[in-house]
Amino acid sequence: MDIVFIEDLRIETVIGIYDWERQIRQVVALDLEMAFDNRKPAASDEIVDTLDYKAVSKRLIAFVEAAHYELVETLAEECARIVREEFGVAWLRLRLAKPGAVRGSKAVGVVIERGSKPD
């Protein structure tokens, strides 16, 4: 199995359960690992044959910037759904971190895996 990844994609959004959090934009950081067979793009050297990480990033940036969720769990699920449905990704691991959300920690968040992991 090959992996296409996006690391530390930082996006501002409205996220949180407290009233003050609903009034500001906070940064979330996304890490994605997406299963993709890279043999075809390696042979063709053509972008159309790839899982275009720039297109995935742009789509997630647009979605997350416009989102207004209370829970990181909900935002993570929606991001995973978009990647799987719109980009045909069979399996992904997504880490969504909320830097500075808990005093004394670098970040808090969730890691989810969705889909069937190819061999």
CB of 96 closer than 8 Å to CB of 110: yes
Locate the DSSP E strands across the chain: 3-15, 26-35, 68-69, 91-99, 107-115
Residue type, 85: E
Q: What stretch of H or E contains 90?
A: none
CB of 84 closer than 8 Å to CB of 33: no
| 98 given a catalytic annotation | yes
Please pick, among 40, 54, 58, 98, the residue that the annotation labels catalytic. 98
CB of 15 closer than 8 Å to CB of 72: yes
Sheet holding 91-99, edge to edge: 68-69, 3-15, 26-35, 91-99, 107-115
Catalytic residues: 98
